[in-house]
Structure 1
Amino acid sequence: MINKLVCAGLLTVAFTACASTSVSAVPTATTEEFRTVNWAVVKATEVQSLNADLEVGKPTVDVGLYYPSNLHKDAVAILPLDGLLEEFAKAKRVFAPTGVQLKLLWVKTGEVDPGFLAINSTSVRSEMPSGGYGNMYVQSGQSPSELSEGALAAFESIIEPAENNNRTVYLLALQNVYMTYFEKLDENGRNWAPKVVNTSGLSFPSYMYGDSIPDRIRGVITLTKHDAKNKLTIAHELGHKLMNVSHEYMSVSPQHEIRSEDGLMLYGAGTQIPAGLDGRWHQERLLLSPYIYRQDSSGEKTWNEDYRAGGFYYDPLYEDYAVEFE
């Protein structure tokens, strides 16, 4: 999750003509009636240009981008579609040195149920302070986060059923996505206070949620503010999703928020994705991601192995590529 202040003037998003349309399914995990979304493909020329450098046989991640047409004008001002395309281009450059390439499948726009434009990320029942026993990854494995009912309904409505849903990353532009965490008020851990953050990006990573998110929508990443300065929100959130790590880098163990000019997974201008034990196995974990495939000249895709035990940080998929720490 990145939380950076962005100053931007009101921008007008110009959509290209529709190349095709599609309809998302009504959510099945709730009894409420929600309107389906009539999605239209836009920015086809820009997408083609972004994908022009893709190579056969290289590790590849498929990414789709949903941009609601009924975002408030002030939300459009701080989350312009053209800005997100700039960020995607930057993300491609960030991941390129690792050998991983990003493919933008499409950009789609449509009118989303207004109630889905602002959500709480996590259910109240899964929110609790740190128990102090084991590191944050161990504790997440013991007490996984769960989506709020609103987030679940929104994602199931917005993300269309498709082949390889569970292997695809979906970027969702929304207005507000709130995350709650607890801040310790004393040394003994007796008193805690909830703190609510209005996120700029949130990756709903497996190291926090495990398999509590339905497979079809597990690739979701929400975006609410464009990083006009560093253009790194998308790259950073993809790092969470694909490397399955928190805010950490080299000797810096996972923390809720830490700022530095080094490392993609810290807040700042850093883009490094290090390898080896000293690099906390970031490159190695990235290359094992279940969201990665290799496509041969005939178009057949060979996917990486999926998670073996829910996708938490210490999932057996990663074998020795995990750091033990207090």
Structure 2
Amino acid sequence: MNAKKLPLLFLLIICVALSSCQSGDSGTKEVRPAIASLVKWQELDTLSLDRINANVEAGKPTVDVGIYFPSNFDPDYKKVTMASMLESFLAAKEIYKPTGLQLNLLFVKTGEIDPSYLAIQANEVPGVPVTEYVNTYEHMERHPARLTGHAREAFDAIVEPDSQNDRTIYLIALQDVFYPFLEVSEGRNWTVKSVRTGGLSFPTYSYGKNLPRHLRGVITISNLSRGDRSRRTIAHELGHKLMNVSHEYRETHPGHEVYADGGLMLYGNGEEIPSGKEGRWHLERLLLSPFIYTFDADGSKVWNEDYQNNGHYYDPIYGDKVVRFKGVPPIDPNW
């Protein structure tokens, strides 16, 4: 039959079907953008991964971690060195050991990145502050953060394409990563603040559907110069990513900056990962993370269940391992 005589609707159906076949799925698969300036990474020859991973056992819950360390930091930048990065990673292995979770170091790579990527603004300035009607996590689900175009471009250039990008943690050393957020200034006015981060985890509880799937394992590390930072920073940022919680602990509800003695997820010296309802289910949420796998009998990786709804705090994979708390009025209720 002459194609010109086919009904227009039939032709449209054929075109849609061919498009779906060429894409390989129903259109839900993420398409990674082509980046001309991909970094040419080289693995460190002097590093013994076998020694670092010597205590990794096949039958235990495991998370794969890769480290990217730029070779062209500015000369005056000393806050993260290769030595401090590895020391903090080894401390994280120790901190998570009591939970039964083990960290497996896949690689440590170095290479020259675009100098503009050495300092980035992580996310766009938010437009809607959280008020008393919902809690912090509910607000983040409704108004998720969004990467800046520059941050997305940097991570696409840095993180090498891999079939398990979305299940792997990537620790990326950068000089400066700024995180803008809204805070009450006075009365009913909010102001934009930008914090200079020592580490930033880009968690799904904050970014949700706006976080590209192949970049959901990204964590930036920018300051390990203090003793407490050197030991806790990577473990703390892994907590955001793997437990999928903010700065919170027992009776302390989440906030941008919460300084107190307590567990791993507060700013302080604590390293506890508590369990049960009184511990805000930190241990249970950790072990449910989609970044975790074990090996089956034939040596294949068996992954935890993936997020069902973009990985927000109340994602269905967590069941009842959540805290239903009320929002707090940020200003005088009689405004």
Q: Same fold (TM over 0.5)?
A: yes
* Offset, 1:156: 0.5
Deviation string 1:60-117 (CA, Å, 9 cap, x unpaired) is 0000000010011222x11111001000010001111111000110000001011111
Partners in 1 of 2:124 and 2:177 — Cα distance? 13
Is 1:68 aligned with 2:70?
yes
Post-superposition shift, 1:227?
4.8
Larger helix proportion of the pair: 2
- Cα distance 1:179–1:40, how it changes in 2: closer, same or farther (>3 A)? same
Is 1:116 the counterpart of 2:87? The answer is no
- Whether 2:145 is the aligned partner of 1:168: answer no
CA drift at 1:45: 3.1
- Cα gap change, 1:44 to 1:60, in 2 (>3 Å): farther
Provide the rounded CA distance (Å) in 2 between the counterparts of 1:151 and 1:165.
Answer: 17
Correspondence for 1:7:
none
Give the 5 Å matches for 1:131-146. Answer: 131-146=131-146
Taking the aligned partners of 1:127 and 1:234, their CA distance within structure 2 comes to 29
Corresponding residue for residue 318 of structure 2: 318
Instruction: State the partner residue of 1:224.
Output: 222
One-letter amino acid of the structure 1 residue matched with residue 208 of structure 2: G
Task: Look up the equivalent residue of 1:62 and give its one-letter code.
Answer: D
Whole-Å Cα distance in 1 between the matches of residues 221 and 82 of structure 2?
11
Which residue pairs with 1:214 in the alignment?
212
Distance apart, 1:41 and its partner CA: 0.3
Matched letter for residue 52 of structure 1: A
In 2: Cα distance, 1:127 partner to 1:179 partner: 14
Deviation at 1:183, TM superposition (A): 1.4
Give the number of equivalent residue pairs.
Answer: 294
Match of 2:92 in 1: 91
**2:54 corresponds to which of 39, 52, 63:** 52
1:227-246 alignment, distance < 5 Å = 227-230=225-228, 231-246=231-246
Shift of 1:270: 0.6
**Cα distance per residue 1:28-67 (max 9 Å; x no partner):** 548xx74221100016534322111000110000000000
**Letter of the 2:118 counterpart:** L
Check if 1:309 corresponds to 2:309: yes
Judge conservation of contact 1:56–1:297 (CA < 8 Å) in 2.
Answer: no
Query: 1:312 corresponds to which letter in structure 2?
Result: H
- Looking at structure 2, the residues matched to 242 and 134 of structure 1 have their Cα atoms a distance apart, in angstroms, of 24
Change (3 A) 1:98 1:223: same
Residue deviations 1:171-223, cap 9 Å, x none? Answer: 01011111101110235xx2011111111100000000012111111100001
| SS of aligned partner of 2:302 | strand
Contact 1:144 1:208 (8 Å CA) reproduced: yes
What SS does structure 2 have at the residue aligned with 1:293?
strand
Is the CA contact 1:44–1:107 (under 8 Å) kept in the aligned structure 2?
Answer: no
User: Are the equivalent residues in 2 in contact too, given 1:227–1:233 (CA < 8 A)?
Assistant: no
C-alpha displacement at 1:297, in angstroms?
Answer: 5.4
Taking the aligned partners of 1:94 and 1:104, their CA distance within structure 2 comes to 15
Q: Under a length normalisation based on structure 1, what TM-score does the superposition of the two structures give?
A: 0.87
The corresponding residue for 1:194 is 192
**Which consecutive residues of structure 1, in runs of 5 or more, have no partner in the other structure?**
1-26
Letter in 2 for 1:272: E
Question: What is the match of residue 23 of structure 1?
Answer: none
Partner SS, residue 194 of structure 1 = strand
Equivalent position of 1:205 in the other structure: 203
Q: 1:62 and 1:324, CA in 2 relative to 1: closer, same or farther beyond 3 A?
A: same
Q: Distance in 2 between matches of 1:227 and 1:323?
A: 34
CA contact (8 A) 2:70 2:112 kept: yes
Give distance in 1, aligned partners of 2:269 and 2:52.
22
**Identity between Structure 1 and Structure 2 (%):** 49
Would the alpha carbon gap of residues 83 and 127 (structure 1) be closer, same or farther in structure 2, given more than 3 Å must change?
farther
Moved more, 254-263 or 237-246: 254-263
Return closer, same or farther for 1:73/1:211 CA change in 2, 3 Å cut-off: same
RMSD: 1.6
* Distance in 2 separating the partners of 1:157 and 1:105: 19
Evaluate the alpha carbon distance shift between residue 53 and residue 208 of structure 1 in structure 2; reply closer, same or farther with a 3 A threshold: same
C-alpha separation in 2, matches of 1:310 and 1:228: 35
- Name the TM-score, length of structure 2 as normaliser: 0.84
Give the whole-Å Cα distance in 2 for the aligned partners of 1:46 and 1:71: 24
For residues 44 and 85 of structure 1, the distance between their equivalents in structure 2, rounded to whole angstroms, comes to: 13
Q: Distance in 2 between matches of 1:150 and 1:140?
A: 22
